Amino acid sequence: MGKPTGFIEYLRELPLDRPAIKRIKDWYEFHYHMEEKKLREQAARCMDCGIPFCHTGTLLNGMASGCPINNLIPEWNDLVYRDRWQEALDRLHKTNNFPEFTGRVCPAPCEGSCVLGINAPPVTIKNIECSIIDTGWEKGWVVPEPPAVRTGKKVAVVGSGPAGLCAAAQLNRAGHWVTVFERSDRPGGLLMYGIPNPKLDKKLVVQRRLDQMAREGITFVTNTEVGKNYPANKLVEDFDAAVLCTGATKPRDLPIEGRNLKGIHFAMEFLHANTKALLDGTKNGDYISATDQDVMVIGGGDTGTDCVGTAMRHGCRSLIQVEILPKPPNERASDNPWPEWPKVHRMDYGQEEAAAVFGSDPRVFLTTAKKFIGDDDGRVKEVLTVEIVWEKNQKGQFVPKEIPGTEKTRPAQLVLLAMGFLGPEQPLLDQLGVERDPRSNVKAEYGRYATSLPGVFAAGDCRRGQSLVVWAFNEGRGAARECDLYLMGDTNLS
């Protein structure tokens, strides 16, 4: 514990964000960096408590509490306070292959369970994590580290999102020859195409790490969809083992009247095409523009927020975000105690930007879309919404009930469906013949990750369902450990 009175002496501080009105005019990351003196003071707020819940990585009431990859948070906080940044980076890399990703996009369940957070603002763990790895890159401490010895074993990883990249990095570290298959034109999966550039820079952050992995000996095969233009059986025939990390990419639809109208898109169609156009330097034919449109985003999670932020950068005419759940309280409710994840009202970057332009938070709570209304050309022009209340049905389950007389017609020429995902796409899984669970996910026990097909493992959202990037890291590392154990009879991977 670097400074025993640090949590008393220093208040919680975060780096400033670029002004919302200015940042929506470009696609650069919106966080400023914090000066080193301030970072060390923030690290000094860590109490090095006797039981550090911040890195427990458990599930409480269905939500993550503490860090799922068990980052050694008190240790690297202490090292930052002592100005021993390279040692802090070594501690961070012991549990996290890609802290520059989690340091930017993770919602920080570690902070939600910080012991200091019981009666004071928690330690700024996420910002310190991001600063450690960014310092490491700036100082040249992050370099390719190919394995000293190769085992001769070949492993295929299907999908290059968070779980796939972690699995690939760990298996390569164990000395196996790793080939990562990605159906898009660039590797990175969700990190490349699912998260907008202002939140996670592709060229400066994502591609930098992918290049390092390639120099360490990992082979990336893009524009290749296993089960479509690459036979699924070749995974079994040509490789000693395989790890499925395809994600949960089947979006939840909204099959109400008018769903077939033009101008209604799934969120990932919108986000993927936008980022591809940005990286290609041109607006391709599949680019979906929100410019001068009245935009409605249906769904209130991270993906919905990303749609809001992207539409704001396009220059939309108006924007509304429809959320079927109630507005969270400003402070923890009595049934949401520490160290559970605090379900409190927040404005993320997209809502801040919409509020700066249009004057208020764009979200409307306890509301759902009832009907899409089109024009003479078959394009959506309006959406009929209705307010709802949650009531228990005969089975004791809470279900939404419409409130009569609350219907409202709202203008919308672009509707983006961001209501989550139902599970993995099935063609590849059908071809392999792996067993599925009742939710259509790959059936593989947590901690073992072995599918019903010998030598084939599964990790991330395709196994557990839609979840956080940091849980994908947890599972990718775990699946790599079990795969290495399967191949070698022993493993040093953690």
Bond before 400 cis per omega within 30 degrees: no
pLDDT of residue 47: 87
The predicted structure's pLDDT at residue 285: 55
Span(s) in the chain for CATH 3.50.50.60: 154-249+422-488, 253-419
Q: What is the pLDDT of residue 50?
A: 84
Nearest to 104 by CA among 151, 137, 65: 137
What pLDDT score does 62 carry? 87
Taking only the tens of pLDDT, the chain with its 494 residues reads: 678 899 999 999 999 999 999 999 999 999 999 999 999 999 999 988 888 999 898 999 888 899 999 999 999 999 999 999 999 999 999 999 999 999 999 999 999 999 999 999 999 999 999 999 999 999 999 999 999 999 999 999 999 999 999 999 999 999 999 999 999 999 999 999 999 999 999 999 999 999 999 999 999 999 999 999 999 999 999 999 999 999 999 999 999 999 999 999 999 999 999 999 999 987 555 689 999 999 999 999 999 999 999 999 999 999 999 999 999 999 999 999 999 999 999 999 999 999 999 999 999 999 999 999 999 999 999 999 999 999 999 888 999 999 999 999 999 999 999 999 999 999 999 999 999 999 999 999 999 999 999 999 999 999 999 999 999 999 999 999 999 999 999 999 99
What's residue 284's pLDDT? 53
**Backbone phi and psi for residue 207, each to the nearest 5 degrees, phi listed first:** -65, -35
Query: Tell me, what's the pLDDT at 423?
Result: 94
Tokens 């429809």 correspond to 322
Q: How many CB atoms lie within 10 A of CB 301?
A: 15
Superfamily of 6-139 according to CATH: Alpha-helical ferredoxin (1.10.1060.10)
pLDDT (0 to 100) of residue 283: 57
- Burial call 384-419: b when 16+ CB within 10 Å, e when fewer: bbbbbeeeeeeeeeeebeeeeeeeeebbbbbbbbbb
Strand order in the sheet with 294-298: 264-266, 414-417, 294-298, 318-322, 363-364
Q: What is the dihedral of CA 454, 458, 462, 468, to 10 degrees?
A: 170
Distance, in Å, from the CA atom of 352 to the CA atom of 348, rounded to the nearest integer, reads 6
Nearest to 275 by CA among 204, 223, 200, 211: 200
In 3D space, the residue among 17, 21, 18 whose CA is nearest the CA of residue 356 turns out to be 21
Question: C-alpha 426: how far from its chain's center?
Answer: 22
* Distance, CA of 206 to CA of 232 (rounded, Å): 28
What tokens appear for 317 in the block?
Answer: 């005419």
List, in sequence order, every residue forming a beta bridge with 391; answer none if it has no partner: 399
CATH code given to domain 253-419:
3.50.50.60
Q: How far apart are CA 124 and CA 132, in angstroms?
A: 13
- Beta carbons within 10 angstroms of residue 50's beta carbon: 6
In the structure, how many helices (H) and strands (E) does the chain have? 17, 18
State the pLDDT at residue 3. 87
Task: Considering the chain, tell me which residue range(s) the CATH 1.10.1060.10 domain(s) occupy.
Answer: 6-139
The pLDDT value recorded for residue 1 is 66
The helix/strand/coil state of 424 is: coil
Tell which CATH architecture fits domain 154-249+422-488: 3-Layer(bba) Sandwich (3.50)
C-alpha torsion sign, points 67, 69, 70, 74:
negative
pLDDT confidence of residue 447:
96
Packing angle, helices 207-215 and 162-173, rounded to 10: 30
